[in-house]
Amino acid sequence: MSINAPAVAHLLAALAALMVAAHILGTLFAYFRQPRVIGEIAAGLVLGPTLLGHLAPGMESRLFPATGTTPTVLGAVYQLGLLLLLFCSATQIRSTLRHGETKTLSWVFITGMLLPFLAGLGLLRVLNLRSSWGPHGNAASFLLVFAIAMAVTSIPVISKIMHDLGILDTAFARVVLGVAVAEDVVLYVILAVALGLAQGNQGALFGLPSLLRISPGTPSDMAYHVAVTLGILAVALVFGPRMYRVTVQSRLNLVCRASPVAYQLVFMLGATLLCLFMGIEGFFGAFVAGIAVGAAEEVSPAATVSIQGFSFAFFIPIYFAIVGLQLDLLHGFRIAFFLLFLLLACAIKAGSVYLGARLAGENSGSSLNLAVALNARGGPGIVVASVAYAAGIIDQSFYAALVMLAIVTSLLAGSWLAHIPKERLLTEHPSAREAATLAREEGLSSRAL
């Protein structure tokens, strides 16, 4: 099927505008030591209805029309960007904890995830948010998305912030990233279940749910999605790395012999298709594939680096720019509701993390630093918002509130940590002191031997 030259030119102009704006504003934000992802979203705000659509609506509609080739291809790039973002993020999930840090991580993970999630469930009994449901939303799916939004923490954003500050190899950073990894694994499982329960899936069942004739929206449907999602995660954790190693090293794997990069992409797409067949949202397949590849990091590591290189050069910046493109902060954005939601979400998440850190023996200063750092929702918060919006679980106004929550909390975390002396983060945490003490004891024991 051929596409005429004007349509190709129009598509290339839209892609070029998004990519150039995303990289320029992303670099500008990074220069001021703010998360690059926020600048990429700002690019979409500039080119979309929030700014360009307001100042020159004709130009905005010509650059990004609602019908035709351009929105179709941009939608495909958006989906690939989401899959690659989750795949690349999951490849970085590794256990890097040292002695003395497990106690803090455990307490902060339990309180920092469980309490905000339960608070989100409880708030919906007080707040009347039925008007925020999307066209395919229902009580169960919206409830889970709202609770996830209260509890989620960003791995990419907070890790980039700490990398820029030069504190990535500290006990503080390891605890923050360990908690964020554990939270995101659990919350992506819950998000996959929420999407499976959305009303939009009821008329388009295929694969295993269709073969089993599972009635959508029933208790058996919920039980099926929970069991299958957890089952896929368990299989990926236990057998995924071994499966990836065996297939990579097989002489019959002609794809890998020709291009390890191509095989990693095939591995990701295969896991995505498997999840779709099982009735689970495809993004979860890319996530578990990344976990498997990351756990087998000694196998074709150059391929993983290459995928990350072109993904963060093209697909992922455009994904975040399209997130901003979908926002209209001038129409339908309820500022009063957002400020209330921001206050509640930050207070509940930060308070829960602070409580866990204090229970683990951290002092008030280090507990406060952990509370602020783990309040950054960043990329995962935006993924939750965009996926739920695309599935029709939430409306455009609540989608905007979730994206702005991710942006504001990420900016707050970056600004807070940037003003804390590095020496304090290196020395003030009991977990850091305990780890240093254990390291000295192990060194003395080895010299004695």
CA 394 centroid distance within chain: 17
Cα angle 335, 340, 346; round to 5:
120
What is the 8-class DSSP label of residue 252? T
Express each pLDDT in 326-345 by its tens digit. 888 888 788 998 999 999 99
**Rounded CA separation 161/168 (Å):** 9
| Closest alpha carbon to 270 in 232, 299, 304 | 232
Cα angle 91, 95, 99; round to 5:
165
What sign for the dihedral angle of Cα 365, 369, 374, 375? positive
Position 216 pLDDT exceeds 80 = no
Express each pLDDT in 26-38 by its tens digit. 999 888 877 788 8
Report if residue 130 sits inside a domain.
yes
What's the confidence (pLDDT) of residue 366?
86
Report if residue 311 sits inside a domain.
yes
Residue 137, token pair as written in the block: 């939303």
Express each pLDDT in 263-280 by its tens digit. 999 999 999 999 888 888
Report if residue 75 sits inside a domain.
yes
CA 273 centroid distance within chain: 20
Sequence letter at residue 280: I
Report if residue 104 sits inside a domain.
yes
Name the helix (H) or strand (E) containing 35.
Answer: none
Express each pLDDT in 278-311 by its tens digit. 888 788 899 889 989 988 877 788 999 999 999 9
How many CB atoms within 10 Å of residue 353? Answer: 30
What's the confidence (pLDDT) of residue 354?
95
What is the 8-class DSSP label of residue 393? S
- Whole-structure pTM value: 0.79
What's the confidence (pLDDT) of residue 422?
65
Residue scoring higher pLDDT (422 or 151): 151
Domain count, the chain: 1
Mention every residue, 6+ apart, whose C-beta is less than 8 A from residue 202.
Answer: 216, 217
How many CB atoms within 10 Å of residue 255? Answer: 15
CATH number of the domain where residue 369 is located: 1.20.1530.20
174-188, 394-408, 429-443 — which is least confidently predicted? 429-443
Name the helix (H) or strand (E) containing 173.
Answer: helix 171-197
Position 44 pLDDT exceeds 90 = yes
Report if residue 448 sits inside a domain.
no
Report if residue 446 sits inside a domain.
no
Report if residue 297 sits inside a domain.
yes
Report if residue 447 sits inside a domain.
no
What is the 8-class DSSP label of residue 215? P
In residues, how long is the chain? 449
**For residue 181, what are the domain limits?**
5-441
Residue scoring higher pLDDT (368 or 433): 368
Express each pLDDT in 348-391 by its tens digit. 999 999 999 999 888 888 899 899 988 988 777 888 898 899 88
